[in-house]
């Protein structure tokens, strides 16, 4: 591939009202999305969608003691119950009431591709025929699960395979969390998931209500009990939602997909920049409620001849110099039809050196799973074409 910027001037299908996109992409296809105050409509609501206070309301209405809600949550999230009948410390009468009003969604089935480097990519089948991707990434004692938040994506980032799908729909909270259960079934003996990153299919903050419900279940002591410090949410830069997320989940890590140091280039690579240009994005990052010892992570995918020059590195130092920031330099994972090539190793290391000279923490994130099509969206595309 020649080191010339591809012609990205043609419209890339990026047209939507940000404030409406989440609901437009979330039609009420699932019983759990109905109004829980309507007992007839809520009869088949997925109990895996519920927050503790919502289940407590039901418990009180069923004339049971409030602590029964925690018992149910314990069975669901700590003991892995897949039926109400399995909840043996609840009365038969109460289990019948639960069964009459709710259902427990099944752990989704997944096909798995295994890489020689230990990476496992899951193509997770959803109940309506959609499919999403999750990736298990082992690295020493750390095992990271990369999670999807949407089926497809509306952000139209030019270097992303998922962008070619467009946005099909948002995932529900239960579908988001279901990826964890599906991944746990694929772990090797002695392996345990240690970290969770929302860097899979979709823009997490464009599915804010379902994302935050899933985060609550994941990190609450009544839920899965995962430390929020082990959870990272990546965004291409939806500024209002970034601020809201860290206000509601101050210990969750935030990663911002930057990928360019000028508005001209970022407008092309990540069209959301037309809505939230670099100056506004960086100012928002400067004002985020970051704890004293924490930093905002900036992701920067290295594209040969596009954004990997010494001038790009120096501009990045100036852009982030006043922030509590660290930079992940990502080796581009090519996919069929990609209009870019990964930067050379020398270019990446030279870029990193300039950032470090500018007192920025900069790490190189190696490409994983190249032999199994681990670029986000690639496994889905192969299924569609096959």
Q: Which amino acids are annotated catalytic?
A: 133, 376
Return d(Cα 149, Cα 237) in angstroms, integer. Answer: 15
Buried b (16+ CB within 10 A) or exposed e, 71-110: bbbebbbeeebeebeebeebeeebbebbeebbbbbebbeb
Element (DSSP H or E) covering residue 125: strand 120-125
Q: How far is CA 289 from CA 85, 251, 257, 282, 362, in A?
A: 44, 10, 19, 14, 22
Instruction: State the residue for tokens 């007992």.
Output: 39
* Length, in residues, of the chain: 386
Which SS3 state, helix, strand or coil, does residue 227 take? coil
Instruction: State the residue for tokens 């909270």.
Output: 173
Return d(Cα 347, Cα 165) in angstroms, integer. Answer: 31
Instruction: State the residue for tokens 């990476």.
Output: 119
The token duo for 184 is 């746990």
Please list the alpha-helical segments (H only) found in 252-293: 263-269, 278-286
The token duo for 273 is 């920049």
Return d(Cα 132, Cα 145) in angstroms, integer. Answer: 14
Q: Tell me if 236 sits within 8 A of 14, measured CB to CB.
A: no
Return d(Cα 255, Cα 195) in angstroms, integer. Answer: 14
Query: Number of C-alpha atoms within 13 angstroms, CB side, residue 310?
Result: 5
């Amino acid at each position: 591939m020649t080191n010339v910027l591809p012609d990205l001037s043609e419209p890339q299908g990026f047209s939507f009202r940000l404030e409406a996109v989440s609901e437009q992409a979330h039609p009420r296809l699932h019983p759990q999305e109905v109004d829980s105050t309507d007992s007839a409509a809520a009869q088949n609501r997925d109990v895996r969608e519920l927050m503790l206070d919502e289940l407590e309301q039901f418990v009180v209405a069923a004339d049971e003691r409030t602590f029964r809600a925690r018992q149910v949550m314990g069975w669901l999230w700590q003991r892995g119950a897949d039926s109400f009948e399995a909840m043996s410390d609840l009365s038969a009468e109460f289990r019948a009431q639960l069964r009459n009003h709710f259902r427990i969604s099944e752990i989704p089935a997944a096909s798995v591709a295994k890489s020689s480097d230990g990476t496992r990519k899951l193509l997770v089948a959803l109940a309506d025929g959609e499919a999403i991707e999750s990736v298990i990434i082992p690295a020493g004692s750390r095992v990271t699960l990369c999670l999807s938040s949407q089926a497809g994506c509306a952000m139209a980032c030019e270097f992303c395979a998922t962008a070619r799908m467009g946005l099909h729909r948002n995932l529900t909270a239960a579908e988001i969390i279901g990826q964890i259960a599906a991944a746990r079934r694929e772990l090797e003996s002695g392996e345990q998931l240690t970290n969770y990153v929302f860097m899979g299919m979709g823009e997490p903050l464009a599915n804010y209500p379902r994302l935050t419900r899933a985060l609550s279940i994941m990190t609450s002591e009544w839920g899965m009990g995962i430390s929020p410090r082990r959870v990272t949410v990546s965004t291409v830069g939806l500024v209002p939602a970034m601020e809201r997320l860290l206000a509601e989940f101050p210990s969750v890590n935030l990663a911002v997909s930057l990928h360019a140091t000028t508005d001209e280039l970022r407008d092309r690579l990540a069209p959301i920049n037309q809505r939230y240009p670099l100056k506004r994005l960086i100012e928002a990052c400067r004002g985020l409620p970051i704890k004293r010892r924490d930093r905002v992570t900036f992701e920067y995918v290295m594209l040969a001849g596009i954004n990997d020059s010494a001038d790009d590195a120096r501009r990045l130092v100036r852009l982030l110099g006043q922030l509590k920031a660290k930079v992940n330099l990502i080796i581009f994972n090519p996919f069929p039809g990609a209009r870019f090539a990964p930067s050379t190793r020398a270019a990446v290391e030279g870029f990193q050196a300039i950032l470090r000279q500018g007192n920025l923490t900069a790490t190189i994130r190696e490409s994983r799973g190249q032999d199994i099509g681990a670029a986000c969206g690639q496994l889905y595309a192969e299924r569609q074409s096959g």
